[in-house]
Amino acid sequence: MNMSAKSVRVLLFLAAAAVAAPSIAEESTLKEGARDVGRAVGTAAREVGDGAKKVGKAVGEAAKEVGQAAKEGAKEAKRAMKPKE
């Protein structure tokens, strides 16, 4: 997953929301416009959070695999160092 592309998409969405906010206020009440913009920002933040969660999980899984490989390597090294009887 390309986080930079997702970040750019979120920034563009927020910029569009900021530009649209004045026209929303003209068409409806300021309170309704603020609610709509708040929902848009919340949705964007949730998408970014979900993406970060997936990236964090992938990093954790990779670290777990590296740790397991290091553990196995240490076991092999210990066996190789053990004097043969």
**pLDDT tens readout for residues 21-34:** 555 545 567 778 77
Residue 1: pLDDT band by 50, 70, 90 thresholds?
A: very low
Class of residue 40 by CB neighbours under 10 A (exposed 0-12, middle 13-18, buried 19+): middle
State the distance between the two ends of the chain, measured CA to CA, in whole angstroms: 53
Can you tell me the mean pLDDT for 63-73?
A: 90
Rg of the chain over Cα atoms, rounded to whole angstroms, equals 25
Q: Which value, to the nearest 10 degrees, does the dihedral of the CA atoms of residues 40, 46, 49, 53 take?
A: -150
- Cα(23)–Cα(18) distance, rounded to whole angstroms? 10
pLDDT at 77 over 80: yes
Question: Which has more confidence, 38 or 17?
Answer: 38
